Amino acid sequence: MLIDEVEILRENLNDTMKWISLTKSGVILMKYLLDDFYQACLYFIGKAYARASGLTSDDSVSLEELDRVLRQSGAEQIIHRLLGEGFIVYRGNNRYVINYLRLKEVLEAIEEYARYSKII
């Protein structure tokens, strides 16, 4: 079965725009300061949108790249948790991507966390 990643991103655009913005150079801007796990989720989502928008050629994230984005938690621990939740998938060459088939669920988890934490 083939999936249309761009269509999935299009369907979730309004929910995504609540959390992130992209600059013309492809930099992902977070609109809220969240727990590192959810920040990582948003970073993966931002990479997907940056690629779909033609701002970058790659939607994958390396462990080292994620480590630079996170404030406190170790990237390796976050990667294992994201894999365990099924929110990301391993692409190969030590790179990971958002699980497009679960994008809506990831965004719902972020929303639930933010509401519970009274961030929004």
Classify domain 5-116 by CATH number. 1.10.10
**CA nearest neighbour of 44 among 19, 25, 24:** 19
pLDDT at 73 over 80: no
Mean pLDDT of 5-15: 97
pLDDT interval class at 100 (50, 70, 90): very high
Can you give the pTM of this predicted structure? 0.95
pLDDT above 70 covers a percentage of the chain that reads 100
**CA nearest neighbour of 42 among 24, 25, 66, 10:** 66
Mean pLDDT of 79-86: 98
Per-residue model confidence as pLDDT tens digits over 43-61: 999 999 999 999 999 999 9
pLDDT for position 80: 97
d(CA 119, CA 54): 31
Distances (CA, A) of 28 to 22, 45, 47: 5, 9, 8
Choice among 1-5, 17-21, 61-65, 110-114 with the minimum mean pLDDT: 1-5
d(CA 108, CA 40): 15
Q: Are 20 and 42 in contact (CB under 8 A)?
A: yes
Domain ranges of the chain: 5-116
pLDDT at 110 over 90: yes
Per-residue model confidence as pLDDT tens digits over 62-72: 999 999 999 87
pLDDT at 1 over 80: no
How much is the mean pLDDT over the chain? Answer: 96
